[in-house]
Amino acid sequence: MYSEKVMDHFRNPRNVGSIEDADAIGEVGNPVCGDIIKLYLKIKDDVIEDIKFKTFGCGAAIATSSMVTELVKGKTLDEALQISNKTVAEALDGLPPVKMHCSNLAADALHKAIKQYRNEEFVEEDHHHQCDHANFCHKEIKIDIEKEA
């Protein structure tokens, strides 16, 4: 089951959208479950002034993207690089084990954007094995639709 914080960030995601003149963009995805997270950063004097996201994925992917934006807005780039999948999951009062890959993706998108801004190489970790089934992440959406029908 999801925590109340996860449900809140899923139902009322913060900082949704894009930034036209973004200083950095980090996009990562998981081809196994289909989640894609794209983060846009506006940076001034090494501080994240603004951050927005667009996510295609399950409720946990949306919630983790939303939480990452709240965790790093106003932080320095070095502070933001300290954000890990564990940090994101803990800030949401936990995630089910089969959804931890979502917090990995959110943290990876953030790190990728910062590395791009700094012209550093980003090595994406392989989180594909963490999504149990090809359509597992999207089954919950189908179930919700069936309940409404």
Q: Of 58, 102, 131, 137, which is the active-site residue? A: 102
Q: Where along the chain do its domains lie?
A: 4-148
Examine the residue annotation and report whether 33 is marked as an active-site residue of this protein: yes
Average pLDDT of span 106-113: 95
Q: Please report the pLDDT score of residue 3 as a whole number.
A: 93
Query: Is the model more confident about 138 or about 106?
Result: 106
pLDDT tens by residue, 61-93:
999 999 999 999 999 999 999 999 999 999 999
pTM recorded for the entire structure: 0.80
The one catalytic residue in 33, 58, 131, 137 is: 33
> If DSSP states are collapsed to H, E and C, what string results for the chain?
CCCHHHHHHHHCCCCECCCCCCCEEEEEECCCCCCEEEEEEEEECCEEEEEEEEEECCHHHHHHHHHHHHHHCCCEHHHHHCCCHHHHHHHCCCCCHHHHHHHHHHHHHHHHHHHHHCCCCCCCCCCHHHCCCCCHHHHHHHHHHHHHC
- Encoding tokens for residue 70? 């709240």
CA 92 to chain centroid: 12
Q: In the prediction, which pLDDT does 34 show?
A: 84
For residue 146, pLDDT over 60 is answered with: no
36 vs 30, higher pLDDT: 36
Tell me if residue 131 is catalytic.
no
**Position 139 pLDDT exceeds 80:** no
Q: pLDDT tens digits, residue range 112-130?
A: 999 999 987 756 554 444 4
Q: What is the mean pLDDT of residues 88-106?
A: 86
Alpha carbon 94 to its chain centroid, in Å, reads 14
CATH 2.30.30.240 describes domain 4-148: no
